[in-house]
Amino acid sequence: MLTIIVVLAVFSVIILVHEAGHLVAAKKIGVDVEVFSLGFGKRLCGVKRGGTDYRISLLPFGGYVKMRGEDPADVEGRDDELASKPVGHRFWVMAAGSLTNYIFAFILFSVIFTIGVPMLSNEIGEVLKGYPAAKAGIKVGDEITSINHHEIKYWDDIVGAIKTESADSENTRLNITVVRGGKTLDIEVIPDISTVTNVFGQTISRPMIGVAPKDKILSIPHDPLSAIYLGGKRLLTLTGVTYKGIWLLITGGMPVKSSVSGPIGIARLMGQAAKLGIVPLMIITAHVNMALAIFNLLPFPVLDGGHIIFLGLEKARGKALSLKAQEIVTQAALILLIGFALFVSWQDIVKILPFGGK
């Protein structure tokens, strides 16, 4: 029950942030916002301020903002309607929700780095038999402090140094400094170039020495300025990875079944993160905010990005597409989106069920 409450609370915050972006942008350009709702369906409670009904509705999953003149069929020619505003103003209203989610993700990442990011230590927890590390004499419990004079503090540093120094070439010699029982040892290792599957489901070559980390998590806090820098860097890196993944999905370079998760899969991850503590939950929340921002701006009708495409066509043509054309395109896109959502949800369910991995 606690997991369900946490998941609903997190999704509510994410949606609240998104819709708040639309709300603020709309009010900024003088559009009358009639309803700001957390949830769908029957109004349960709320308060009216500045002509807007801020409400909580019956169905807690989701939310929306209702702006006057947002639906072309309801346009009356009033100055406070969305349709009466210039294309540029309407663009910012449509983009504001996703931009707010993206900014919120940046804030979360910055706070996470300030509190302390969970990092695996530099201590070896497993040495795989037959691999270069075992042959060279590296042992469980060794702490790697440098690789080819690159200082090592965390496991990510080890992975990065091996990749950088090996450069996917054979016969690269790594001078690995370890601390064992209080003594410092220098051990030379020649990595194997192994074939592995990356996060995109692609087969790649990667240098490996055959070691795995100890299950020892360190929490590393940073000063506010460093946290802001690192938070922004992490967000930009994840953004690049996300767009690369989208491109591979579109071009067939990455399997859809095993690579995409919907609300069910995300809710499951949130529930697992909540059990680990506030920081893991914040990390998942930041990732979802970033993903929602990117997904919503995709140039697909029904999404905010689709509305932006319609605005771009209106700007180029000097007039909006006909209501009939917009309805046909939107309805077709909605059917595709619902189908995709059902497909992804089923894949999430299959992964959860006992036979999912078989």
We report the CATH number of the domain holding residue 188 as 2.30.42.10
Boundary-marking domain end, from 204, 219, 234: 219
Q: Is 156 among the domain residues?
A: yes
Q: Quick one: DSSP state of residue 150?
A: E
- Position 39 in a domain: no
Q: Are residues 198 and 274 in the same domain?
A: no
DSSP state of 52: E
Interval 31-49: pLDDT, tens: 999 999 988 889 999 999 9
For 261, the domain range is 87-116+222-358
Residues 183 and 314 both lie in one domain: no
pLDDT class for 358, splitting at 50, 70, 90? very low
List the beta bridge partners of residue 208.
192
Count the domains in the chain.
Answer: 2
| Pairing mode, strands 124-127 and 143-147 | unpaired
- Bridge partners, 328 (sequence order): none
pLDDT in tens, 266-311: 888 888 888 878 888 999 999 999 999 999 999 888 889 999 999 9
What average pLDDT does this structure show over 128-132?
Answer: 91
Q: What local confidence, expressed as pLDDT, does residue 297 receive?
A: 93
In a domain? residue 311? yes
Least confident of 25-29, 89-93, 216-220, 303-307: 216-220
Q: Does residue 195 sit in helix, strand or coil?
A: strand
Instruction: Pick left, alpha or beta for residue 119 (phi over 0 → left; psi -120 to 50 → alpha; otherwise beta).
Output: beta
| 220 or 229: which leads in pLDDT | 229
Q: Would you say 142 and 216 are in contact if contact means Cβ atoms under 8 Å apart?
A: no
Same domain, 246 and 325: yes
Average model confidence (pLDDT) across the chain = 87
Q: Are residues 93 and 242 in the same domain?
A: yes
Same domain membership, residue 269 and residue 194:
no
Q: How many CB atoms lie within 10 A of CB 67?
A: 25
Residue where a domain terminates, one of 219, 241, 269: 219
Q: ∠ CA 203-208-209 to the nearest 5 degrees?
A: 165
Whether residues 338 and 200 share a domain: the answer is no
Does 240 lie in the same domain as 98? yes
Same domain, 208 and 244: no
Please tell me the number of Cα atoms within 13 Å of 342 on its side-chain side.
6
> b or e along 39-62 (b: 16 or more beta carbons within 10 Å of the residue's beta carbon)?
beeeeeebeeeeebebbebeebeb
- Cβ count within 10 A of residue 66: 15
